[in-house]
Structure 1
Amino acid sequence: MGSQHELPADRSYSKPLGIRFLEYIKKAKLSYESHQAIVLIVTFFAYASYHATRKTTSIVKSALDPQSSDLGLKFPWRITYLSAPAESKGLSWVLGDGWAPFNGSDGTALLGQLDVAFLSVYALGMYFSGHMGDRMNLRIFLTVGMVGTGLFTSLFGAGYWAKIHSFYYYLIVQMIAGLFQSTGWPSVVAVVGKWFGKKKRGLIMGIWNAHTSVGNITGSLIASALLSYGWGWSFVVPGLLIAFMGLVVFFFLPVSPESVGAYREEDEVDSLRKSEEEEGVTEPLLGSNTELNEKAVGFIEAWKIPGVAPFAFCLFFAKLVAYTFLYWLPYYISHTGILRYFLLLCISLLIHF
């Protein structure tokens, strides 16, 4: 089996440039444990940056619609998007008076529709992102998703300086941002799963999964700190942050042990083969041909995997509550008029702790 632990010459191209640079500095190949540490750190901050950009909207809502008198839901055919509501035409376009078309009596409904559009495209995109991620280099796929997320998050904020007041502009930007956001979770989970075996995966994933809270807290701090300079900065800075992290992913993320020629002395595949040989099994379940491991799983087949359906429904109800707080609690708290933005930030941080 020693030959299996050698990296074929024709596969060396998949090793990220950052990994090559580290090995050049070290004058030796990085160990398997070093690669694991890099994977955990890079994916942690990568997905934290996804949540940082996602959290911005809930903080800025109170700047876009600070004095909406109607907090109820309206149907799309009852709303006029192309012109600012009558109540907002006498207001200025600066922080404190809101931003048309969100600062009118129907501002809350418009903001709600932005959330619905974003999350709908995000949910749909998760399905396709999972399929595409199984068929593409995850490092490239994740980089494109992060840079795209940064671009369209920044474009939302650019509406502040460009004085854009068309609802459709923000709607389209949010929908495309949701599509790029959907590349994050399937990709980082797949990469981490390839580097950590089942024995320690629970502990590792438990610690690593703190990236959501870290990202939400970071996004809240950045957005709140920049609101006084103009709400556009609250989008542009997180957008630049995730784009930068996308470049870090491109240069440093090894998507699998095989892609960088990193192997442990006693990995799980070898131990499984050894145990099967001792039991007289002539055909190991995990053969030398990795084609079966690389085969993508279809939608129906995924639902047939034991535990997928219960986990999906549990996550559905957990996210239902989480996203209600994530997107709307800071907004409604800020409308109580009690220390508005300070209370908004404190409540948001407490939720994610």
Structure 2
Amino acid sequence: MRRWRVFTLTWLSYATYYFARKNFPVAKRTIQTELGISTAGLAAIDTGYLATYAIGQFAGGWLGDRIGSRRLIGYGMILSALLIAAFGASSTASLFALFFGLNGFVQATGWPGNVKAMAAWYGPTERGAVMGFWSTCFQVGPLVATALAAWLLAHFGWRTAFFGPAVWVALVGLLVLLFLQEGPHTTVETKPARIDVKAAAREALRNPIVWLLGASYFGMKL
């Protein structure tokens, strides 16, 4: 029962993360028309988000090992909700770039946090099959998030495409904080271990599987 609760909460959580990232692609043309923001300005907002999201992946994994997946996901979602609400209340390219860039960094708590939570409850012999079903969250999430943002935009204006999803993201984040349990295999570091970062990086870069997986995922994003 506990494992299915974790499965459901983490599936819902990662699907919901998309509600705080798919609204800008839907609303950007309307924002450009109404506020007169240039195409270059819109591109800068997108680029800033992607850059901070990439950087945040490193920080998210490190932080998750220290505070646990429940707090990483829960607080990450609530912060993301606040940032997209702030985005929806803004009217200048500089503020859009600031809030969406910060949102990218916070959004990066989703993948390491949820994968850590799932790994703590499911062992290596069953993890492949379970994660196959779990991974449907990042197909369903973008689909529903995009449809909702488009509907809100069409009926209530572009700002509601941010305010409405922000409420949902915050609610799911609160559910995670209240009900997600750390698994029996979870380890949370109270005192960070001393690690030779350069040696670890060299070892990872020499591993051909790392390069193969990186190249395959890069190809998926083209």
Tell me: CA distance 1:296–1:180, structure 2 relative to 1, closer, same or farther (3 Å). Answer: farther
Question: 1:169-188 counterparts in 2 under 5 A?
Answer: 169-188=95-114
Question: 1:188-267 counterparts in 2 under 5 A?
Answer: 188-227=114-153, 228-257=155-184
Matched with 2:81 is 150
Tell me: CA distance 1:125–1:47, structure 2 relative to 1, closer, same or farther (3 Å). Answer: same
CA shift for structure 1 position 239: 1.2
Question: 1:95-123, CA deviations, whole angstroms, 9 ceiling, x for partnerless residues?
Answer: xxx22232xxxx22211111000000110
> Are the aligned partners of 1:55 and 1:219 in contact in 2 as well (CA < 8 Å)?
yes
Identity of aligned residues (%): 30
> Are the aligned partners of 2:17 and 2:169 in contact in 1 as well (CA < 8 Å)?
yes
> Are the aligned partners of 1:157 and 1:232 in contact in 2 as well (CA < 8 Å)?
yes
1:207 match: secondary structure: helix
> Are the aligned partners of 1:117 and 1:175 in contact in 2 as well (CA < 8 Å)?
yes
Question: 1:1-353 counterparts in 2 under 5 A?
Answer: 34-65=1-32, 98-102=33-37, 107-159=38-90, 164=91, 166-227=92-153, 228-257=155-184, 300=201, 301-303=203-205, 307-319=209-221, 321=222
- TM-score computed with the length of structure 2 as normaliser: 0.88
Q: Distance in 1 between matches of 2:146 and 2:56?
A: 25
Tell me: CA distance 1:150–1:60, structure 2 relative to 1, closer, same or farther (3 Å). Answer: same
Which residue type is aligned with residue 220 of structure 1? T
- TM-score computed with the length of structure 1 as normaliser: 0.57
CA shift for structure 1 position 236: 1.0
Q: Distance in 1 between matches of 2:42 and 2:20?
A: 16
The structure with the greater share of residues assigned to helix is 2
CA shift for structure 1 position 306: 6.7
Larger radius of gyration, structure 1 or 2? 1
Which residue type is aligned with residue 183 of structure 2? S
Q: Distance in 2 between matches of 1:47 and 1:40?
A: 11
Q: Distance in 2 between matches of 1:186 and 1:257?
A: 18
> Are the aligned partners of 2:120 and 2:185 in contact in 1 as well (CA < 8 Å)?
no
Q: Distance in 2 between matches of 1:237 and 1:303?
A: 43
Q: Distance in 2 between matches of 1:199 and 1:172?
A: 43
Q: Distance in 1 between matches of 2:148 and 2:96?
A: 21
Q: Distance in 2 between matches of 1:197 and 1:258?
A: 9
> Are the aligned partners of 1:131 and 1:296 in contact in 2 as well (CA < 8 Å)?
no
5+ long unaligned stretches in structure 1: 1-33, 66-97, 260-289, 322-353
Q: Distance in 1 between matches of 2:34 and 2:141?
A: 26
Q: Distance in 1 between matches of 2:29 and 2:220?
A: 25
Matched with 1:30 is none
Question: 1:17-45, CA deviations, whole angstroms, 9 ceiling, x for partnerless residues?
Answer: xxxxxxxxxxxxxxxxx111011100001
5+ long unaligned stretches in structure 2: none
> Are the aligned partners of 1:101 and 1:167 in contact in 2 as well (CA < 8 Å)?
no
Q: Distance in 2 between matches of 1:39 and 1:302?
A: 30
Backbone CA RMSD of aligned residues: 2.2
CA shift for structure 1 position 248: 0.6
> Are the aligned partners of 2:121 and 2:185 in contact in 1 as well (CA < 8 Å)?
no
Task: State the structure with bigger RCO (CA 8 A, min sep 6), 1 or 2.
Answer: 2
> Are the aligned partners of 1:52 and 1:219 in contact in 2 as well (CA < 8 Å)?
yes
1:196 match: secondary structure: coil
Which residue type is aligned with residue 140 of structure 1? R
Matched residue count:
214
